Chains A and B, each alone.
Chain A
Amino acid sequence: MAFGDSDMGVFFGDMGVVVSVGNDVTTGLLDANDLTDAQAFPGAPVRVVDAQTVVTIARGSLPSIVRDGQITVDGTVMRVRDMQQEKDGSLTYVYCVADK
């Protein structure tokens, strides 16, 4: 049996965290990693390490999401830097940054 969009809910349900924008609520897969920004000061001994937060959600599950808008990820209020369609378009990667 082929793996399809309808099966994604199993992953979100098992490993997902609550993600919300306004009154829209869904579950998403949270990845939080440190990411060295090699372009920050090329040639200089200054190391800049970003906190990369990416939430994977089903496309369209947060209709009111906008860039620079607030998003709550697993209880933490963040800002949406960008969104990107992935795979066959059934998933959306939401790039988030701390709301400072």
Chain B
Amino acid sequence: MIELVRIIAGTLSNLTTLNAAIASVALDGIDAAPPDVLAVLNEADHNLTFRESESPLAPCIVVATKSAFTGKTSRFNGVQDWEGDVIVGYINVGAIQQTNFRDAMYTMRAVKKLILDTLFTGNGQATARTRNNVALMWIPSMQYGITEQNAFGGVMTGALSLTCTTREINP
């Protein structure tokens, strides 16, 4: 759902705010702070191919749909509700696997907090959660910290998977 991708990516698009959030994450004393994120990309506006050999911007955040959105065919009182998954992914390049893992986990924690703070904390966030008559109603569940690093490459990925319920108005 294009609106949802852009709503969530929009919460992360100010790199100064995002990197301040990353810098504020509590760390174990022996760990270094993760590096600043250099780009926030999304499925609606960017090519999401990340090729290590091309020296891409890293680390970066990617926002994309992970599943089709499902909803009832009927419309009720002028609205139609949908549910589906969006991933907020972290991609970094580094030689040391355990360092990559730490950076991914700490960064994803900051990303999760920033999304929830921006969209769901206090009053007045309804506008931030709405685009083109599609509103992000709530995120009933999420998966935090899915990581993957191929044994034969230097790219680490981490993901925050958000199950989102959206409401389309006047569908």
Chain A residues at the B interface, C-beta cutoff of 8 Å: 34-35, 37, 39-41, 43-54, 68, 78-79, 81-82, 95, 97-100
Query: Looking at A39, A40, A45, which has the most chain B CB atoms within 10 Å of its CB?
Result: A40
Alpha-carbon distance A72/B154, docked complex (angstroms): 16
Picked from B53, B91, B151, B157, the residue with its CB within 8 Å of the CB of A82 is B151
- Please name the 5 residue pairs, one residue from A and one from B, whose CB atoms are nearest each other, closest first: A50-B153, A97-B154, A79-B95, A51-B52, A51-B53
With A35-B150, A98-B154 in contact, do A48 and B95 touch (Cβ < 8 Å)?
Answer: no
Chain B residue, CB-CB nearest to A80? B95
State whether the Cβ of B155 lies closer than 8 Å to any Cβ in chain A: yes
Task: Tell me the residues in window 102-158 of chain B with beta carbons closer than 8 Å to chain A beta carbons.
Answer: 148, 150-155, 157
* B interface residue count range (under 10 / 10 to 19 / 20 to 34 / 35 or more): 20 to 34
Q: Is B18 an interface residue (CB 8 A)?
A: no
Q: Is the CB of B67 within 8 A of A43?
A: yes
Contacts of B154 in A (CB 8 A): 50-51, 81, 97-98, 100
Bound complex: CA of A82 vs CA of B145, how far in Å? 24
* Contact present for A50 and B152 (CB under 8 Å): yes
Q: Determine how close the nearest CB of chain A comes to the CB of B69; give it in whole angstroms.
A: 13
CB pair A45–B43 under 8 Å, yes or no, is: yes
Check if B75 is an interface residue, CB within 8 A of chain A.
Answer: no
B93 within 8 Å of A (CB atoms):
yes
Against A, the Cβ 8 Å flags (1 = close, 0 = not) of B78-112 are: 00000001010101011111000000000000000
Task: Say if the beta carbon of B49 comes within 8 Å of chain A.
Answer: yes
In the docked arrangement, what's the CA distance between A82 and B94, Å?
15
- In angstroms, how far is the closest chain B Cβ from the Cβ of A94? 11
CA distance A37 to B52 in the complex (A): 11
Closest to B94 in A: A100
Tell me which residues across on chain A come within 8 A of B148, comparing CB atoms: 37, 39-40
Q: Does B33 contact A (CB under 8 A)?
A: no
Q: A45-B48, A47-B48, A51-B51 are in contact. List 7 more A-B contacts (CB 8 A).
A: A40-B148, A44-B43, A44-B65, A46-B89, A49-B51, A51-B53, A100-B154
Query: Within the complex, what minimum Cβ distance (angstroms) separates B87 from chain A?
Result: 5
Tell me which residues from 20 to 72 in chain B have a Cβ below 8 Å from any Cβ of chain A. 43, 48-53, 62, 64-67
Interface residue from A44, A51, A79, A95 paired with B66 (Cβ < 8 Å): A44
Considering the complex, give the chain A residue whose CB is closest to the CB of B85. Answer: A43
A43–B85 Cα distance when bound, in Å, is 10
Separation of A99 and B94 alpha carbons in the complex (Å): 7
Bound state CA distance, A54 and B152, in angstroms?
Answer: 8
